Amino acid sequence: MSIFTEAEAKAILDKVLALSKADECTATLTGSIAGNIRFALNNVSTSGIVSNSNLAVQSAFGNRVGTASINEFDDAALERVVRRAEDLARLAPENPEFMPAIDKQSYKPSPTFSASTAAITPEFRAQVAADSIAPCREGKLTAAGFLEDGQSFVAVANSKGNFGYQQATNFDYTCTVRTDDGRGSGWVGRNLKDASEFKADNEVRIAMRKATESAEAKALEPGKYTVILEPAAAAGLISFMMNFFDARQADEGRSFLSKKGGGNKLGEQVYDPRVNISADPWDPRAPVLPWDAQGLAREKMSVVENGKVAALDYSRFWAKKQGKRAVGTPGNLLMAGGDKSTAELIKGTQKGILVTRTWYIRMVDPQTVLLTGLTRDGTFYIENGVIKHPVKNFRFNESPVIMLNNIEELGRPVRVAGDESSFVMMIPPMKLRDFTFTSLSDAV
């Protein structure tokens, strides 16, 4: 069994703390059951279920720290893992950046658990695959997709009396549909809290339409264009940039948020005044655990407010050194926008390019957060408020900082997951001027 109740988890953690002889002891108990199904070429390719659980114990004598982990939970195993962590702590070198265990936190529960998502069965997953594949077969199209779902729990406790327990679920579906001749490709992604809201046979139609409509792509010259980035396309760039909001890096002069002459850009106008990015673990659209990886309580906070940098990420050590208050590192990224859908943004666009998705985004220059990557699975030319024709994919070289200073309009945020980001995000579709495409790609 990998999912413990709060009482079961607390009983185990209480035993761990009672066994501790160290100056301080912190323990984290986690468990998960993860299911997935993968399909391609209109057939299921792989499918599985993985259950896992883990207890990590951290002991400290002075500023010497040791950590050990185990996945057995009887009394003898608990004694073993605690003694092992203590032995390691006694042998560890002194850590000059040691921070004592966190004080007792007040964790307000966030709605991260969905009973319908936790109840998913292998049959449900097979049905999602079947419902994605059937309309594609009928339409002479080829589907490849992935559903990953799971339930998990995290329980934390320490010798200063801190305790937290919460269950969570996750559900993420993506599907790429290609025309049989390989000239068209479309994509859809849905990241949801509640699986009962999901209808694969509806969602797959979006990817099918984009696949069919992208088949006769024309080449446009690379250059600067007005673009409409769909939320999934914008999320890749914005979440990448948010990984570089570290205060210490900025203070050390090696971040785009470092100031010429020293110091950081906290409080400075870095983006267009319409840019507002916040974090809120209790946001019902994109809830996350109410504590971060250190066990620090998360707070509802502004990260960028009216284009000004409102918060940088201070580790507990760096916060102490700089005289700042350390708060939990955000787990979600909520970008504000307007009321318009992507379709409405298209309607108001005279000339521009619609981007469904961005791909293989990598840092080119950390000095300016210049990122490169490509468009993928549905890139279209817009003229006089309508989509005129598909265009060949582009490579871009663009900085999200420059991009978020070139805003024409922001639409209504939707929940998205990033290909390579752990943030749960609400991102609006965005219309931007002078987005830099540097070359064409033949890829479909």
Partner 1 sequence: MQRRDFLSFTGLGLAGLALPYGRAIAAEALLEPADLARRRRLADTALNAAREGGADYCDVRIGRYLRQSVVTREAQVRNIVNGESAGVGIRVLSQGAWGFAATDASTPDAVAAATRQALAIARANARIQTRKVELAPVAGVGETRWATPLRKNAMAVPIKEKVELLLGVNAAALKAGADYVNSTLFVINEQKYFASSDGSYIDQDIHRIWLPLTATAVDKASGKFRTRDGLSAPMGMGYEYLDADPAGKVALPGGLTGYGRSYDVMEDAVAAAKHARAKLKAPSVKSGKYDLVLDPSNLFLTIHENVGHPLELDRVLGYEANYAGTSFATLDKREQGYRYGSERVNFVADKTRPGSLGAVGYDDEGVKTREWDLIRDGILVDYQATRDEAHLLGHKQSHGCSYADSWSSVQFQRMANVSLKPGKQPLSVAEMIKGVERGLYVHGRGSYSIDQQRYNAQFGGQLFYEIRNGQVAGMVEDAAYQIRTPEFWNACVAVCDERDFRLGGSFFDGKGQPSQVSAVSHGSSTTRFNGVNIINTARAL
Q: Per CB under 8 A, which of residues 206..225 are in contact with partner 1?
A: none
Total residues in contact with partner 1, by rule CB under 8 A: 106
Residues 399, 404: Cα–Cα separation, whole Å? 9
In the complex, the smallest distance separating the C-beta of residue 341 from partner 1, rounded to whole angstroms, is 25
In the complex, the smallest distance separating the C-beta of residue 94 from partner 1, rounded to whole angstroms, is 9
64 part of the interface to partner 1, by CB under 8 A? yes
125-130: long-range contacts, CB 8 A cutoff, minimum separation 24: 125/35, 125/36, 125/37, 125/47, 125/149, 126/37, 126/44, 126/47, 127/200, 128/37, 128/173, 128/198, 128/200, 129/37, 129/39, 129/44, 129/200
Q: Which of residues 171-190 bind partner 1 (CB under 8 A)?
A: 174-176, 178, 182, 185, 187
54 part of the interface to partner 1, by CB under 8 A? yes
Residues 294, 14: Cα–Cα separation, whole Å? 19
The two beta strands, 351-365 and 370-383, are antiparallel
Task: Please identify which residue in 133, 241, 304, 327 interacts with partner 1, judged by CB under 8 A.
Answer: 133
CB-nearer residue toward partner 1: 92 or 301 = 92
193 part of the interface to partner 1, by CB under 8 A? no
CB-nearer residue toward partner 1: 317 or 381 = 317
Task: Please identify which residue in 14, 79, 87, 383 interacts with partner 1, judged by CB under 8 A.
Answer: 87
11 part of the interface to partner 1, by CB under 8 A? no
Q: Which of residues 276-315 bind partner 1 (CB under 8 A)?
A: 293-295
Q: Which of residues 368-387 bind partner 1 (CB under 8 A)?
A: 368, 370, 372-374, 376
Token pair 């068209």 is found at: 184
Judge whether 258 and 264 are in contact, CB under 8 Å.
yes
In the complex, the smallest distance separating the C-beta of residue 273 from partner 1, rounded to whole angstroms, is 17
Residues 356, 6: Cα–Cα separation, whole Å? 42
In the complex, the smallest distance separating the C-beta of residue 246 from partner 1, rounded to whole angstroms, is 11
Region binding partner 1 by CB under 8 A among candidate stretches 31-39, 104-112, 190-198, 212-220 = 31-39
Q: Which of residues 101-130 bind partner 1 (CB under 8 A)?
A: 122-123, 125-126, 129-130
Residues 178, 245: Cα–Cα separation, whole Å? 38
Residues 210, 444: Cα–Cα separation, whole Å? 12
Looking at this protein, which amino acid is placed at residue 429? Answer: P
Q: Which of residues 238-277 bind partner 1 (CB under 8 A)?
A: 243, 252-254, 256, 258-262
Looking at this protein, which amino acid is placed at residue 142? Answer: T
Task: Please identify which residue in 199, 216, 360, 385 interacts with partner 1, judged by CB under 8 A.
Answer: 360
At 150, list the tokens: 């799971």
Task: Please identify which residue in 5, 52, 202, 269 interacts with partner 1, judged by CB under 8 A.
Answer: 52
Helices then strands, each counted (H, E), the chain? 10, 19
Residues 201, 47: Cα–Cα separation, whole Å? 20
CB-nearer residue toward partner 1: 51 or 196 = 51
CB-nearer residue toward partner 1: 396 or 413 = 396
Q: Which residues face 28 on adjacent strands?
A: 56, 156
In the complex, the smallest distance separating the C-beta of residue 385 from partner 1, rounded to whole angstroms, is 29
